[in-house]
Structure 1
Amino acid sequence: MSEEKLMRHLYQKLDDLSVQIEKLNLTEYLELLRNPRRLLYVNFLGGVARGFGMAIGFTLLGALVIYILQRLVILRLPFIGDFIADIIRIVQKELATK
């Protein structure tokens, strides 16, 4: 391979590498690491968003479970109805002792 071809090949690889680095937003990430306040702010907002998402998800999931249990009680299935009645008795007993 001639020296000229080698240089063209290296320039092409260097161009490809610079495009890849730009796609990774490496400069923005490095700026974020250099500014601790902004890093804490971004992480705080991310944590709040995740916590809010979990709270909403848990609320919706709990509502769905309660809705399904109510429908099962309406069907008066013997095993499930007794199971739910036992849970209600246990909860009422625990609330009465406190």
Structure 2
Amino acid sequence: MFCSLSRRINELSLTLEKLRLSEYLKHLNNIKRVIWINFLGGLARGFGVAVGFTLLGALAIYLLRQAFLDNLPVIGNIIADIVKIANEKLQLR
């Protein structure tokens, strides 16, 4: 019984050392450091979101522009057909 208890305590102490719980608690006790780390993390996340949104937006605009330029004659023909139909309807009145 004592051997298994001693072995279990040793396993728990090794697990706690692996978790580096003492370092984490020291980190949490230093409020200025916690605020500074969270501030820097927020800046990094905000910068990442801004850069990512810019790149995705630029890619979307580029792809839409290419799709629009490729289909411009088709769109022009459709608009011409609509104008022609509208003129015919106006002349019937």
Kindly report structure 1 stretches of 4+ aligned residues shifted beyond 6 Å.
none
Please name the residue that 1:28 is paired with.
23
1:17 alignment partner AA? L
Residue equivalent to 2:34: 39
Please state how far the C-alpha of 1:41 moved relative to its aligned partner.
Answer: 0.8
Q: TM-score, normalised by structure 2?
A: 0.71
- Percent identity over the alignment is 47
Alignment TM-score, normalising by the size of structure 1: 0.68
**Superposed counterparts of 1:55-66, under 5 Å:** 55-66=50-61
Corresponding position of 1:49: 44
The 3-state SS of whatever aligns with 1:17 is helix
Question: How many Å apart are 1:12 and its aligned residue?
Answer: 1.3
Q: Deviations over 1:67-98 (max 9, x none)?
A: 111111121163xxx8xxxxxxxxxxxxxxxx
* Higher gyration radius (CA): 2
Counterpart Cα distance in 2 of 1:23 and 1:55: 36
Q: Deviation per CA, 1:8-54, whole angstroms, max 9, x where unpaired?
A: 11111111111211222211110011110111111111111111111
1:10 partnered with 2:17: no
Match of 1:67 in 2: 62
Highest RCO, 1 vs 2 (Cα 8 Å, sep ≥ 6): 1
Read off the aligned partner of 2:15 and give its amino acid letter.
Q
Task: Tell me the number of residue pairs that the alignment of Structure 1 and Structure 2 aligns.
Answer: 74
Gaps of 5+ in 1: 1-5, 83-98
RMSD: 1.6
